[in-house]
Amino acid sequence: MSRTVHHDGPLIIGGGLAGLSAALEAGPRKTLVVTPAPLLQACSSAWAQGGVAAALSAGDAPALHAADTAAAGAGLVETGATEVLTGDGRATVEWLASLGAPFDRDAAGGFAVSLEAAHSRARVARVGGDGAGRAILSALIAAVRAAPHIEVWEDGRLRGLIRDASGRVRGVLIERGVPGSGRMVEVLAPAVVLATGGAGGLFARTTTPVALLGEGMALAYGAGAEILDPEFVQFHPTAIDVGLDPMPLATEALRGEGARLVDGGGRFLLGEAADADLQPRDVVARAVHAARADGGGAFLDCRTAIGDRLPEEFPAVFAACMRAGLDPRETPIPVAAAAHYHMGGIAAGPDGRTSLPGLFAVGECAATGVHGANRLASNSLLEAAAFGRRTGRAAALETSATGATLPVRTVPDLSPEALQTLRETMSRDVGVVRDAAGLAGALEVMARLEAAAPGALPLVAARLIAEAALARRESRGGHFRSDYPAAAPVAEHARLRAQLQAAKPSAPVERAA
Ligand code: SIN
């Protein structure tokens, strides 16, 4: 039996940068934030090493930022949403700074900006070198704790979406306390905002918290929301390969500072040119993947370009290496490509609105079209904060619906063994390099796992990714098919995309007991 709580204001599921930005801007409407763990734990934003991309310097402009975003996105970036995003850049960084985010400053007191791959200008505002995510989120958490309109539950797992017969999302089913305790609470609210993060935990090699299993996307899908481009997963080329799960990240900014990718024999992986390692992330990830598959290994050599500056300028990377017994001032860092960001997800606008009334999505679980097939570095924190603010304001305008709601059907969890099988399958067959045989095999594994846990949310999310990857018979951005190595012509591609949206497979969430 669950008890029912009526909340008169936005209900936000997720306590990362997107969720907290939404909560702060939803005021003075009473806002409830629900997270499965204490704030700052188990969300990707806190782990971000890069920074916030925005046109902040004299030679830059939102239009240039938008052009770089579109170029990285390989033909699938939506212009309108991207103009909103890049236009919001400076105001977003200033808002975060006004809340206390201690951005690095230049000699004149302006925002210090650095260069990352595929940006035509230096435009990444950083904090403490590689500590942006944690510092920014800490500032927001302090603001949230001080905001009288916000209440936070830090022990609530999302178990279901509550709908009514009209299709409106009316609330959520939350399990509070220790997982499996069965302390279920139905929370009804005028607006539900999913800010549940990505799906990196579906992969055995990931740089994200392993608890992020695409469950928000799976639940939204089960409720009938439109899912966009789920096959587009970004693999980061330089996850530190020292046997940890998740894998610590070696930020791309190291390559921006001149660190080089080499094989075990010290040969450049991508050629000698000074900017060869700053090609788009998917290109670099495939080179790292290939070098490892060949047996030569892949390493990030920071010794010459950065050397003794590492502890001060990249403290998170330095600490991760030293904890693993590796001094990156003396030894090249072993690296692998690992799942890092989900470009696809719940189709949503810049104000978080989805195809379902009452349901909003923001941050990594949303697909707003600004990343297309390949996200430009450091656009994710910008999107989380900028669209988070817009989403909070839009959700605050919603008014409560009345009338009966439909019963919520919960689904079983995956056993730890089944989850590990799924993760290994995803990294092997739905990873950096895909082909029809591997994807079909992965779907068979998922079908077997589903027999024991029908409708388990990680399986729904994984199946959405694998089915779309199988259907997209081309290579584009983060999605590479060795059996279709070229990009399809734009017209054909657009058709494929429309078919993917229309041809949703049956929804296991609905079938579950
Ligand atoms: C990085 O610092 O390499 C990651 C930044 C990002 O994913 O945008």
**Tens digit of pLDDT for each residue in 427-470?**
999 999 999 999 999 999 999 999 999 999 999 999 999 999 99
CA contacts within 13 A on the Cβ side of 302 = 30
Same domain, 309 and 436: no
Query: What's the first-to-final CA gap in the chain, in angstroms?
Result: 16
pLDDT tens for 295-311 read 989 999 999 999 999 99
Residues 170 and 30 occupy one common structural domain: yes
For ligand 1, atom 1, the nearest C-alpha belongs to 251
Q: Is 426 exposed, middle or buried (0-12, 13-18, 19+ CB in 10 A)?
A: buried
pLDDT exceeds cutoff 90 at 511: no
Cα of 257 vs centre of ligand 1, distance in Å, is 14
Judge if the beta carbon of residue 378 lies within 6 A of ligand 1: yes
Question: With a 6 A CB cut-off, is 50 part of the ligand 1 pocket?
Answer: yes
Q: Identify the domain containing residue 33 by its residue range.
A: 22-178+343-395
Three-state SS at 315: helix
Q: What is the pLDDT of residues 229-271, one digit of tens each?
A: 999 999 999 999 999 999 999 998 899 899 999 999 999 999 9
Ligand 1 neighbour 31 (Cβ under 6 A): no
Calculate how far, in angstroms, residue 173's C-alpha sits from the geometric centre of ligand 1: 33
Residue 414 has pLDDT above 70, yes or no: yes
pLDDT exceeds cutoff 60 at 505 = no
Query: DSSP H helical segments within 208-342, as ranges?
Result: 215-222, 253-256, 281-293, 310-313, 315-323
**Ligand 1 near 391 CB (within 6 A):** no
From the CB of 92, is ligand 1 less than 6 Å away?
A: no
Residue 226 forms part of a structural domain: no
- Residue 299 placed within a domain: yes
Higher pLDDT, 81 or 181: 81
Ligand 1, atom 5, lies closest to the CA of 50
Q: Say whether both 255 and 296 belong to one domain.
A: yes
Give the pair of three-digit tokens for residue 447: 């079908």
Amino acid at 479: H
- DSSP secondary-structure letter at 356? S
The predicted structure's pLDDT at residue 504? 46
User: Cβ atoms within 10 A of the Cβ of 304, count?
Assistant: 9
Q: Which among 247, 251, 364 is the best mutation to test ligand 1's pocket, defined by most ligand atoms within 8 Å of the CB?
A: 251
pLDDT of residue 408 exceeding 80: yes
What number is the average pLDDT over the span 205-212?
Answer: 96
Tell me: pLDDT of 512 over 50.
no
Tell me the CA–centroid distance for residue 346 and ligand 1, in Å: 22
Q: Is residue 1 part of a domain?
A: no
**pLDDT reading at 492 higher than 90:** no
Q: 52: closest CA among 108, 107, 104, 106?
A: 104
To the nearest whole percent, how much of the chain has pLDDT over 90?
A: 87
Smallest CA separation from ligand 1 atom 4, residue: 50
Q: Per the residue annotation, which of 281, 292, 353, 375 is the catalytic one?
A: 281
What's the pLDDT band for 495 if we cut at 50, 70, 90? low
Q: Which atom of ligand 1 is nearest to the CA of 252?
A: 3
* 417: CATH: 1.20.58.100
Task: Calculate how far, in angstroms, residue 350's C-alpha sits from the geometric centre of ligand 1.
Answer: 21
Give 256 or 287, the one with higher predicted confidence: 287
Query: Is position 484 within any domain?
Result: yes
Structural domain count of the chain: 3
pLDDT at residue 507 greater than cutoff 70:
no
Rg, Å, the chain Cα set? 22
- Known active-site residue 281: yes
Query: 363 and 261: one domain?
Result: no
Same domain? 315 vs 452: no
Q: Judge residue 295's burial from the number of C-beta atoms within 10 Å of its C-beta, 0-12 exposed, 13-18 middle, 19 or more buried.
A: exposed
Distance 315 CA to ligand 1 centre (A): 15
Residue 342 CA to residue 200 CA, distance in Å, equals: 7
49 CB under 6 A from ligand 1? yes
Asked, for residue 134, whether it belongs to a domain, the answer is yes
Q: Which tens digit of pLDDT belongs to each residue from 307-356? A: 999 999 999 999 999 999 999 999 999 999 999 999 999 999 999 999 99
CATH of residue 317's domain is 3.90.700.10
Tell me, yes or no, whether 349 lies in a domain.
yes
Strand pairing category for 10-13 and 191-194: parallel
Band of pLDDT at residue 508, cut at 50, 70 and 90: very low
Is residue 227 in some structural domain?
no
462 and 378 part of one domain: no
- Beta-bridge partner residues of 161: 172
Q: For residue 501, what pLDDT is reported?
A: 64
- Domain match, 329 and 349 both: no
| Strand duo 10-13 + 299-301: pairing | unpaired
pLDDT of residue 496: 62
CATH number at residue 365: 3.50.50.60
Determine the pLDDT at residue 50: 86
The predicted model gives 175-180 an average pLDDT of 85
Relative orientation angle of helices 89-98 and 79-87, to the nearest 10 degrees: 40
Nearest atom in ligand 1 to the alpha carbon of residue 381 is: 8
Q: Which residue has the tokens 């990285």?
A: 72
Asked if the structure places residue 198 within a domain, the reply is no
Q: With bands split at pLDDT 50, 70 and 90, how would you rate the model's confidence at 181?
A: confident
Statement to judge: residues 168 and 283 lie in one domain: no
pLDDT at 80 over 90: yes
Residues 448 and 423 in one domain: yes
Higher pLDDT, 414 or 410: 414
298 and 350 belong to one structural domain: no
Report the percent of the chain where pLDDT is more than 70: 95
Tell me: pLDDT of 500 over 60. Answer: yes
Residues 155 and 35 in one domain: yes
Sort residue 41 into left (φ over 0), alpha (ψ -120 to 50) or beta. beta
Q: Ligand 1 center to residue 124 CA distance, Å?
A: 10
List of residues 6+ apart from 281 with CB closer than 8 A: 117, 118, 234, 235, 236, 237, 252, 374, 375, 377, 478
pLDDT tens, residue by residue, 36-68: 999 999 789 999 888 999 999 999 999 999 999
Q: Quick one: pLDDT at residue 182?
A: 73
Q: 69: Cβ below 6 Å to ligand 1?
A: no
What's the half-sphere exposure (Cβ side, CA atoms, 13 Å) at 164? 16
- The kind and range of the H/E element at 227 are strand 227-228
**208 ligand 1 Cβ < 6 A:** no
Quick one: 273 and 305 in the same domain?
yes
| Interior/surface letters 319-357, b for 16+ CB within 10 angstroms, e for the rest | ebbeeeeeebeeebbbbbbbbbbbbbbbbbbbbbbbbbb
